[in-house]
Chain A
């Protein structure tokens, strides 16, 4: 089941990456696959042939990755997290291999044809206008307030609503500060420069504002889910899909405008910054004192890896990518670790990995052997895996509850202590849990 959720929820990733990368094979701002070329290159047979090969390679990789995903979804029964993280890593890395190779081929051909530009040169248009913030910052304020509304009826999971409110504030900060307000100069046409800059600035702000409102809706959904499940969960899923589709749409819309407005550019003088873009992907420019850089194509921003902050960022990103499979191994090991439960005259103790919970027998107020899990069990902190639930959870029946069970193995021992706390324990073996329950009953005299 977990396999189906893991791979099923991510199977579209190769299609999305292939779609975005194949779109880069269209000329926008005279750039194709990260290489700036003159207008004549758009009809050059060799350039067209290189681009055609690139598209075919991307489609092939996409099909292979999807097929692998489906096979893993059906056949992998053990170590599913490890296999999943390796597959995700392949999905992220593999499509960029043909991109980089195509970028190198195009750059070589560019040199061969003498289309190269003067290196380490920057151009600015004195008539280009810096775009003011198109949206009022106060528009981000209502989502912050809305995120906190569920606190009215749900105090237990307050941190979740505060987190959503903080995210709304972070989105406002990203909107303001993660953007380099630089005119989008393509050639000497100032009108095009101003239109491209205005459109990008507007879309960038709109994107973050929509994200903030969606976070507020998510907070409401979480609040609703706590009281009137499962509608909150269903709405949250719909909102996530909406956000993903919206983000892709706004990116593609920006690219489409960039393509349309610069379709006649490149015949005379045009901006060429290829010497600063490694493989068309990474910005490396020691001459640039800025850290945040706008991507040349689309809406996104990136980092100048020539700056110390950029080096740290790229190092951490590489580290996270390299650590992905190890993370999978780690999660798989948690899910297979034994759950040891012991009952003595003084205490009941349950352990799995580093988690260790103890309850004093004298403190036990009531005891129940349950065949079903607690209603609407939702994790606050800890682990929620296919075969292991451990940590601090909330439930509709109990509110806060400490859990350490294998949810696939019934029955479970449900304990309430005199201080009003709830505990939900169970081992990986039904008979053992039943025997431990009998022992508990005996010691507590219930």
Chain B
């Protein structure tokens, strides 16, 4: 999977790393058990400070997306289908739905959009 870091974006770099890896896992581009670059390697490849990469990996670990190991580095975690959604995700979802409603979309249009995104495996 290709990670893209935009240094002109308002989104902090650690969030860019975190979000892209989450999207990769969600879309199946990153499979459970798949190795991710180590913090040092990702920092060296991208030129991003090691502390920034470390911050993103800590978030991913806390949120249960990855496990870190001193020897193997970071690995995509196998997630149980508990149908439990974290408070953070629910909050983000509420904000997104509100934005869509504010933009004038009705319930069906929002459902269609979600359906389309889910099927395409694309988050825009």
Contact of A130 among B30, B34, B41, B46 (CB under 8 A): B41
Known interface pairs A127-B1, A130-B37, A287-B7; A122-B30 also in contact (CB < 8 Å)? no
Q: For chain A, give the interface size range.
A: 20 to 34
Q: State which residues 183-199 of A face B: CB under 8 Å.
A: 183, 188
Known interface pairs A121-B6, A287-B7; A126-B1 also in contact (CB < 8 Å)? yes
Q: State which residues 4-51 of B face A: CB under 8 Å.
A: 4-8, 24, 30, 34, 36-38, 41-49
Separation in Å of the A368 CB from the closest CB of chain B?
65
Q: Judge if B83 is at the interface, Cβ distance under 8 Å.
A: no
Q: Are the CB atoms of A125 and B6 closer together than 8 Å?
A: no
When distances are taken between beta carbons in the complex, the residues of chain A under 8 Å from B48 are: 122, 287, 289
Number of A-B contacts (CB under 8 A): 62
Q: Judge if A446 is at the interface, Cβ distance under 8 Å.
A: no
Is chain B's binding surface mostly helix, strand, loop or mixed? mixed
When distances are taken between beta carbons in the complex, the residues of chain B under 8 Å from A126 are: 1-3, 24, 30, 34, 36-37
Which A positions have Cβ atoms within 8 angstroms of B?
118-128, 130, 180-183, 188, 285, 287-290
Q: Are the CB atoms of A121 and B4 closer together than 8 Å?
A: yes
Q: Are the CB atoms of B47 and A285 closer together than 8 Å?
A: yes
Q: Are the CB atoms of B7 and A120 closer together than 8 Å?
A: yes
When distances are taken between beta carbons in the complex, the residues of chain A under 8 Å from B8 are: 119-121
Separation in Å of the A52 CB from the closest CB of chain B?
35
Separation in Å of the B10 CB from the closest CB of chain A?
13
Q: Are the CB atoms of B36 and A122 closer together than 8 Å?
A: no
Give CA–CA (A121, B11) in the complex, Å: 13
When distances are taken between beta carbons in the complex, the residues of chain A under 8 Å from B37 are: 124, 126, 128, 130
| A-B contacts, 6 listed (Cβ < 8 Å) | A120-B6, A123-B3, A126-B3, A127-B1, A181-B41, A289-B47
Q: Are the CB atoms of B47 and A121 closer together than 8 Å?
A: no
Give CA–CA (A258, B48) in the complex, Å: 26
Most chain B CB atoms below 10 A, which of A120, A180, A287: A287
The chain A residue with its CB closest to the CB of B3 is A124
Q: State which residues 70-101 of B face A: CB under 8 Å.
A: none
Q: Which 8 A-B pairs have the closest CB atoms?
A: A288-B47, A120-B7, A287-B7, A124-B45, A122-B5, A120-B8, A126-B1, A122-B46
